[in-house]
A and B are shown apart, each in its own frame.
Chain A
């Protein structure tokens, strides 16, 4: 028999083996059950190729297609594949590729360096396709497609770009651009290289228009090469197309409005009074929206940016102007409401010699409210303003006067002035200005200001500032006898609930409307009177520090059952009656009758160049 002095040691060996196996199983449990490597593994092996959702289309109120999509192609490059090819001694023919793409070798190297620079291209991964050249046209794509197999590592990614049926509405419609790093951080939906609305309707309705991008899960190997689809596409997501949007715009009116603004700096806003729907919103200088799409964008963007006439500024929503005489209508309404005047109040006017504000028109004296509006009598409204604010005297520390000023301000604000609307879908709105009493306190001292100090407010000059869209909306309030629906661009019923009442009772509107009708019938606007149409309006001529006065008109038509409220501002043109008024009348005619009969007037206004610096893009 064998000597078996060490038989016990077999047990020790058994234990050692078991302990190590248990240790290993414990480690496996840690790796496979406790720690989660699924995400890391998927990041490794999955290339989630986006399938871009078609962006929603944009229609005008009559169903005419304004904005649609056109296919475009991005050339992508996977760095790892290029590197592997170079290592294997079979690099691609860079010069041939440069030739196909129409770039120099230096440009090619610069682009490669840019892609690899994580500070500029912060999402860089050598395994993931990176954008080498964006927005190739279908023709370039077709040409490149034939040669692409010679350049492994380069692939094509399909995209869509915006295209426009009408060369108008650039400011309103807005455009799309590549998302910024901040946008990606704020909204996890976006991936590097996605397009999103950057202004206008495209931005306001970004969530609706963009839909939801789908993704195709592709398997890529450790060298970045695509090896097929994961589970035959079982887990791929199809894109969800973006929602189409029908806007409130009337594209025919928009076109006419933009044509009429050619060669001038100014804007036109037309609103359907009962609904607050914006029928047209034009601002000049402007550009053909197709110019900021695709590869033209990089060409035209700097040009537009550097244009001294600031085409990127949407003057309809963001231009601040003194409303001038157009403000007298609101002044009248508020002062009637507050009892400062009555419809039968008359004030005397001494024409150009009147103090402290002279009258620029010739008419009889004393004047009634209707006549004052018709003749745009400055002294009448100064006295109206003064009477209203001082009706309780000044009181201790001017407090009674200030209280009345505050009430006046509140009532003016109720016409939608002074603040940008928070319930509107219009992009780029500005506040405008109706000063607080506290602001005047700061400027003049607590007792340092009286109605005389702020007399310019009475005739819509001085500290009163409005935007053209606010002015059009104020016209809508008068047309509606005391309310407005916040102006908006999406023809969706839910926006009709944003109704706001002005602080002026129904009964006070008739006299002001009568005055505004007389303006168009017998007053400053009588020259461009449309046959068989009762238009209510008011011209304005506002002095400013930049040259000739701004020419302004606001109003609505028809007088009964109004269909369109409009505001026109032409910068540094001259009298309101000479420029803004005819332009407004042409727009009203176009909208109400869908044609323009005064062809000579139309051509004259269209071809009138008031500012030679304004270019047409």
Chain B
């Protein structure tokens, strides 16, 4: 194929087997990626930048929380170059849409680990849960509730009792109770939305690559 020549286009025609997609789905998503990036030029060629990616999340997955959107972008961006290339796109979506419990737990963990130090600390939790409770005007300390939630989660998930969560803690807790997968805020699509997204990918008109 012509794409093979392009340095930014890794060879991924064959490795749909490494994803949770069928060949057709794989191709549709690849095509969608091309469609999204068709107008990008120069340095951005063949890559999605932050705002483009956020638009996708926003439009199709109805995600609005800026902080989460940003973190999801980072979770997709495996090489941390602030762009998402085709391989990252496919791999990320594979987990995002179809991932098994462990993969999704890892994904969520990455999203919630705001500073990327492989731990979710109390502070990060507090930050993530800050707006999850309605403010009660009667409450003396409006942050009391959030603090309490953080304590509840630590009690439930902090298996090694070090006051913060590592990936093992997180995975163990999720295996114990799958409802805790998005413990600190929604960052995965609903099954129905995921389905719609894939269906949408098939409707994107075939894009002829212009990289050559």
Q: Is B one of A's binding partners?
A: no
B→A interface (CB under 8 Å)? none
A→B interface (CB under 8 Å)? none
